[in-house]
Amino acid sequence: MDSGTENTDGKDVFISYSHSDSKEIAKLLGQELSSMGVEVWLDDIKMSIGSSIRESIDDGLTQSEYGVVILSESYFEGTSEWELNGLVEKHTNEEDVILPLWHGVDHDYVYQQSPSLADLIAEEIDKKNVQTVAASIYQIVEDRGGDNDEWGGDIGGGQKTDFIDIDIRFQGRFDPEVGKEVTVESWRNHNAPNLTALEATEIRDEDREIDYTSSSKGTIMTVKRIDDEPLNGIISDIQEIRSGKTEFTIRVEESRLEELSDDRDDYKSGFVQ
């Protein structure tokens, strides 16, 4: 996702967290964001007594547009109120660049540590809602420069972007890589309009700018090849790679699928009655 700045090496977001109790959730969040096309940098500083959270976030925001701060019990350990209030000051002065998340803590706990930090709009995060939180962050990044109305589950009228995973089968040479952007330029689908798995006939690797064409010609009784409904997404998983065959998953905005026709005749071959 284009950072919208002159720093072409910058990231969309960086994630600051405590290695003691939030490393796993931070990694999952980073993976979800990457599979949505968000450029992520995970803060590699181990928060401990004497660590400067303010300095860490200052450094992160010089290379990223937004800072996602996962607040947990161990995140507060050894952190001064001055440090925590500094986050609020940075958030206010730099127009909502910090997106707080509560992991294993609630408003009362955060308030006891820092009343000013507790006043910032935050979302709770755990293993069950990582993708939903990632979608909220995606929306903020996509609407870069606007108000963060989508942030916080109980405020604002913004509608979060939803994603759906589509399993892709491809017959021929192709080198998929998780996190890479691809466009399925043409495809065959045996279960239209329920698009959950399809056979790609042409794939565009957007990062490498390479086009791949399937060696499979299909059969006379198969559904017809769809050439005018490209599907763009990020590779989120790889099931199998072997000579002449690849199976992987791409994550696509659900709104794109809603644009596809519901008429089975638009997908069926004329040979199928």
pLDDT digit string, tens, across residues 215-224: 887 655 555 7
77 belongs to a structural domain: yes
For residues 135 and 196, state if they share a domain.
Answer: no
In percent, the amount of the chain with pLDDT more than 70 equals: 74
Contacts (Cβ under 8 Å, ≥6 apart) of 266: 192
Among all chains, which residue has been given the structure tokens 């870069």? Answer: 144
Helices 81-93/53-63 angle, 10° precision: 30
| pTM tops 0.75 | no
How many CB atoms sit inside 10 A of residue 130's CB?
Answer: 19
6 belongs to a structural domain: no
Q: What's the domain count of the chain?
A: 2
Among all chains, which residue has been given the structure tokens 């990020």? Answer: 234
Mean pLDDT of 228-253: 88
Is pLDDT of 155 > 90? no
In percent, the amount of the chain with pLDDT more than 90 equals: 21
Is the Cα torsion angle 196, 198, 204, 208 positive or negative in sign?
Answer: positive
122 belongs to a structural domain: yes
- For the chain, give the mean pLDDT: 78
Q: Are 54 and 83 in contact (CB under 8 A)?
A: yes
For residues 196 and 123, state if they share a domain.
Answer: no
- Say what the pLDDT of residue 270 is: 36
